[in-house]
């Protein structure tokens, strides 16, 4: 059996694994966190996190920083009862890094401004 295979830049010992710095993980119903969107850009990662829907109602969403090896944002769900007594989940974004929290505030403010401009344009038509 031949065991000395040709190596390439991908399989050589000096090959460097390049993973994106940020990655979003969504929890499935079995409780496993599955990887999703990934990027090296912090603003893109924050915006994607804010727009990421859970895999199921009340499922977790987490933004992980691979370089620092820590979770920088997560979703918390609060359950409130409606007037009819039905439980409703409300998403609350929790940021574990002050820079990421500031970026999220900027993204939300920009989106709010876009929405108000869109509304005023539609009202003027």
The full set of domain ranges for the chain reads 22-124
Residues 30 and 46: their CA atoms lie apart, in Å, by 26
Burial class (CB in 10 A: 0-12, 13-18, 19+), 72: buried
CA distance linking residue 53 with residue 57, whole number of Å: 9
Model pLDDT, residue 4: 47
Residues 16-25, mean pLDDT to the nearest whole number: 82
Least reliable range by pLDDT among 61-65, 72-76, 109-113 = 109-113
pTM summary value: 0.76
What's the pLDDT score for residue 44?
Answer: 96
pLDDT number for residue 19: 80
Radius of gyration over alpha carbons of the chain, in Å? 21
Whether 17 has a pLDDT exceeding 50, the answer reads yes
Q: Which of 8-12, 19-23, 31-35 has the lowest mean pLDDT?
A: 8-12
């Amino acid at each position: 059996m031949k065991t000395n295979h040709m190596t390439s830049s991908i399989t050589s010992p000096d090959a460097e694994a390049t993973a994106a710095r940020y990655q979003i993980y969504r929890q499935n119903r079995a409780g496993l966190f599955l990887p999703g969107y990934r990027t090296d850009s912090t603003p893109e990662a924050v915006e994607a996190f804010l727009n990421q829907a859970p895999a199921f109602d009340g499922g977790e969403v987490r933004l992980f920083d691979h370089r620092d090896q820590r979770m920088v944002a997560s979703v918390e769900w609060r359950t409130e009862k409606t007037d009819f007594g039905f439980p409703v989940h409300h998403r609350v974004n929790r940021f574990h890094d002050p820079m990421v929290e500031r970026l999220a505030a900027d993204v939300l403010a920009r989106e709010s401004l876009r929405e108000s401009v869109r509304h005023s344009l539609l009202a003027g038509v």
